[in-house]
Amino acid sequence: MADFGNFAIAIALTFCAFALFSLFYGARTGRRELVKSGERAVLAVFAFTTLAVVALEVLLLRSDFSIEYVASYSNRDLPIFYKMASLWGGQRGSLLFWSWILTGFTALVAFRNRQYAGKLVPYTLGILSITSAFFLIMNKFGANPFQQLVVDHGDGMQRVFTAKDGNGLNPLLQHPAMVIHPPMLYLGYVGFVVPFAFCMAALLTRELGAGWIKMARRWTLFAWIFLGTGILLGGRWAYVELGWGGYWAWDPVENASLMPWLTGTAFLHSVIVQERKNMLKVWNVSLILVTYLLAIFGTFLTRSGIVSSVHAFAQSSIGTYFLVFLIGISAFALYLVLTRLEFLKSDNQLDSYASREASFLFNNLVLLAACFAVFWGTLFPVFSELIQGEQVTVGAPFFNKINIPIAMFLLFLTGVGPLLAWRKTSWESMKHIFLWPVVIGVVTAIICIVGGIRSIYPVMSLSLSAFVLTTLVSEFNRGTRARMRNTGENAITALIGLVMTNKRRYGGYVTHLGFLLLIVGFTGQAFTTEGWGEVKQGDTFTIGKYDFACVSVQDISDPNYSGMSATLDVSSKGKKIARLSPEKRFYPASEQTTSEVRMHHTPLEDVYVVFANIKEDTEAAVIQVWINPLVSWVWLGGYVLVGGTIITLLPNRRERRIAKQKRSVEKLLEDAELVSK
């Protein structure tokens, strides 16, 4: 089966090389049959990469421990669900998974545009195939997941052997969120390759009109929402599984996923300015390129080990592959942009700083500043080691210090930007629009201060959130009333009609509402209460307003692990609200111990309980408790964010009708041509 997988990758790579040649050469020379055969080759690349993935899954399910990857990331007792997820549990498998998604997206682009007769799509498929070829080369030569397990018996000779059992998947990864989180992230990362390909194809063909930007925007939105969902699921996993009371630690891996998401967000805003005002063409092209490079860079960052130490880079063979590819593609992209500047001329004109386009400009600036701060903080240890010869750590305190003010400014722009008019908003108009939001924001700040909040950022965050919420509500309110006046519909029908006739605008507002909820949720971290208690059966302790009574401490066992569990009754003001049983598990296969957190959720706070330890002198269970305010708002914000994006992605009835009419006209013209022949 391993040979079959290897063979499938080799065939996929061969088809990829053929696709590259036939797509570029066919499009350049106008030989439609070559382009068609390139498109079919792209489908074949996907088919053979799928076979390679299937081969690895079969090896994992069969527990074939003659394969190094299977022996490293699976074991016999691992549940089937996690055995399948081991595909992305390690570096080699996850890179094959990357290739599979990328070749799938390439096939999807080819299939959806099979009727397209111009040059843009063949070039796009060609660019996608370049990235596919890079990853397939790595799958074949740099990080082959089908490599056999070998041992050195001390005589210098390496011999193939089959292990009797495997190391198992890291217990921390044995969680449903961790099964969904990496595919979501990969869909996001890989999704950003498609708009990049459209952009490069537009530069190569000099077809820099509205066509490519429309396709690039939809794919960016698609990638952006998957990456965002992946990031949130990662946070959810960290919160539930790691047991340290939080969901975001500014780890380099987390930062790597956040950076392209930030630049993608900037693009999704600035592209509106290009569509409406024919401005910022060079800027949008640059944002697409940067987002793509950051997506690849993120994979490089997490897979090369460069952040833990510059020396770790040399130990990882794939680091060199990535570095060469990144430099090569950056140089090529820069060359294309510089040589196509004359085709990227925009009608740049700004009537006022109090305009929608100016607010988008600031929004982009702030998002890029946030991205740079994350990039700089993540790579500063590398720079420090190179320049000072000494490693430093850049942890959460640094990122919080730098990024919280930036997030506040972004929140402010979220409230202001959408309400400003294109070209210019008069002072009178601004007074009319912003009076109530400002009043409510100030009142919220006063309530916060009177309520005892003395830190500046929580007060700012909550008052700005109130300001933004009021602007959003007033925008929906005014739109609904305008529609009611025109159609005579009731409020709910008018609201639904309002959203459905301009999904992009109002879906965007819903997304802003999600962002707002996220910020409120993040603010809750400023009010976390933490404590612990030592309990035996019948003992109690109190943290904040909650009392914890230990019902029992008992052993637990499972074929995959064994451990202990403490059962606690949680009550507040004498009323029982939950029974929680946090666990401490020991996984023999990987010789790791983990904490299984148990929580009681309310809309206002989470009671987060961890079985920390057994105190050996007293034999009491040590229970760590966090009272985390507003965490549910983070997850709710995530759902709203996804919901808003889905609304913007829904097909537009009007656009569909126009496209249908266009297709009918094209068919009529084709028929007429045939008749005349």
Partner 1 sequence: MSGNAAGENGPFSAQALRARWLKARLVKSRRPGRFPGLRGALVFAVFMILAPAAFAQSAKTMLEDPALATRFNEVSDRLVCQCGCQMILRVCNHVNCPSAVPMRQSIEKQLLAGSTDDAIVQGFVDEYGMKVLSSPPATGFNLAAYVMPGFVLLIGLFIAGYVASRWSAKRKLVTASAAPVDVDPDMQKRIDDEIRMDKS
From 207, 251, 539, 569, residue interacting with partner 1 (rule: CB under 8 A): 251
Nearest to 210 by CA among 269, 281, 136: 281
**Beta carbon nearer to partner 1, 330 or 592:** 592
> Per CB under 8 A, does 32 bind partner 1?
no
Determine how many CB atoms are found less than 10 A away from the CB of residue 152.
9
> Per CB under 8 A, does 380 bind partner 1?
yes
For residue 519, give both structure tokens. Answer: 């910020």
Interactions with partner 1, residue window 582-601 (CB under 8 A):
584, 586, 588-589, 591-595
Determine how many CB atoms are found less than 10 A away from the CB of residue 446.
12
> Per CB under 8 A, does 21 bind partner 1?
no
> Per CB under 8 A, does 114 bind partner 1?
no
> Per CB under 8 A, does 482 bind partner 1?
yes
Which one of the spans 48-56, 84-92, 118-126, 344-352 is the region binding partner 1 (CB under 8 A)? 344-352
Q: Which helix (H) or strand (E) holds 553?
A: strand 546-557
From 20, 289, 301, 358, residue interacting with partner 1 (rule: CB under 8 A): 358
> Per CB under 8 A, does 244 bind partner 1?
yes
> Per CB under 8 A, does 365 bind partner 1?
yes
> Per CB under 8 A, does 663 bind partner 1?
no
Whether the Cβ atoms of residue 595 and residue 584 lie closer than 8 Å to each other: yes
Per-residue CA distances from 556 to 10, 608, 612, 613, 615 (Å): 47, 21, 16, 15, 18
Nearest to 612 by CA among 532, 545, 543, 530: 532
Q: Which helix (H) or strand (E) holds 575?
A: strand 575-580
> Per CB under 8 A, does 393 bind partner 1?
yes
Report how far residue 649's alpha carbon sits from residue 504's, in angstroms, rounded to the nearest whole number: 8
For residue 464, give both structure tokens. Answer: 């700005």
Q: Measured from the CB of residue 430, what is the shortest distance to partner 1 in angstroms?
A: 8
> Per CB under 8 A, does 147 bind partner 1?
no
Interactions with partner 1, residue window 541-580 (CB under 8 A):
553, 555, 562-564
Q: What is the per-residue binding string for partner 1 in 394-433, x denoting contact by CB under 8 A?
A: xxxxx--xx---x--------------x-xxxxxxx-xxx
Q: What is the per-residue binding string for partner 1 in 427-466, x denoting contact by CB under 8 A?
A: xxx-xxx---------------------------------
Q: Measured from the CB of residue 616, what is the shortest distance to partner 1 in angstroms?
A: 2
Which one of the spans 3-11, 119-127, 374-382, 568-576 is the region binding partner 1 (CB under 8 A)? 374-382
Which one of the spans 4-12, 113-121, 175-183, 377-385 is the region binding partner 1 (CB under 8 A)? 377-385
Q: SS3 for 53?
A: helix
> Per CB under 8 A, does 345 bind partner 1?
no
From 577, 613, 646, 649, residue interacting with partner 1 (rule: CB under 8 A): 613
Q: Measured from the CB of residue 67, what is the shortest distance to partner 1 in angstroms?
A: 14
**Beta carbon nearer to partner 1, 39 or 64:** 64
- How large is the C-alpha radius of gyration of the chain? 28
**Beta carbon nearer to partner 1, 195 or 305:** 305
Interactions with partner 1, residue window 486-525 (CB under 8 A):
486-487, 497-498, 501-502
Report how far residue 503's alpha carbon sits from residue 484's, in angstroms, rounded to the nearest whole number: 18
Q: Measured from the CB of residue 551, what is the shortest distance to partner 1 in angstroms?
A: 16
From 3, 33, 80, 164, residue interacting with partner 1 (rule: CB under 8 A): 164
Estimate to the nearest angstrom the gap between the alpha carbon of 365 and the chain centroid.
21
**Beta carbon nearer to partner 1, 197 or 589:** 589
Q: Which residues contact 49 (CB under 8 A, 6 or more apart)?
A: 8, 9, 12, 96, 99, 100, 103, 104, 136
Nearest to 295 by CA among 183, 180, 196, 182: 196
Whether the Cβ atoms of residue 133 and residue 17 lie closer than 8 Å to each other: yes
DSSP state, residue 393 = -
Please, what sign has the CA dihedral across residues 331, 102, 287, 219?
positive
Look up residue 52 and give its amino acid.
A
Q: Measured from the CB of residue 245, what is the shortest distance to partner 1 in angstroms?
A: 7
Q: How big is the site for partner 1, counted in residues (CB under 8 A)?
A: 103
Interactions with partner 1, residue window 126-145 (CB under 8 A):
none
Which one of the spans 133-141, 259-267, 479-487, 517-525 is the region binding partner 1 (CB under 8 A)? 479-487
From 348, 529, 537, 571, residue interacting with partner 1 (rule: CB under 8 A): 348
Look up residue 403 and give its amino acid.
N
Q: Measured from the CB of residue 635, what is the shortest distance to partner 1 in angstroms?
A: 20
**Beta carbon nearer to partner 1, 519 or 621:** 621
Interactions with partner 1, residue window 261-320 (CB under 8 A):
308
From 114, 206, 276, 481, residue interacting with partner 1 (rule: CB under 8 A): 481
Whether the Cβ atoms of residue 298 and residue 189 lie closer than 8 Å to each other: yes
How many Cα atoms sit within 13 Å of 630 on the Cβ side?
Answer: 16
Look up residue 473 and give its amino acid.
V
From 345, 653, 662, 667, residue interacting with partner 1 (rule: CB under 8 A): 653
Nearest to 347 by CA among 273, 418, 421: 273
Beta bridge partners of 625: 531, 609
**Beta carbon nearer to partner 1, 38 or 582:** 582
> What per-residue string of b and e applies to 366-381 under the rule 16 or more CB within 10 Å gives b?
bbbbbbebbbebbbeb
Query: Is 87 buried (19+), middle (13-18) or exposed (0-12) by CB count in 10 A?
Result: buried
**Beta carbon nearer to partner 1, 135 or 297:** 297
Whether the Cβ atoms of residue 89 and residue 178 lie closer than 8 Å to each other: no
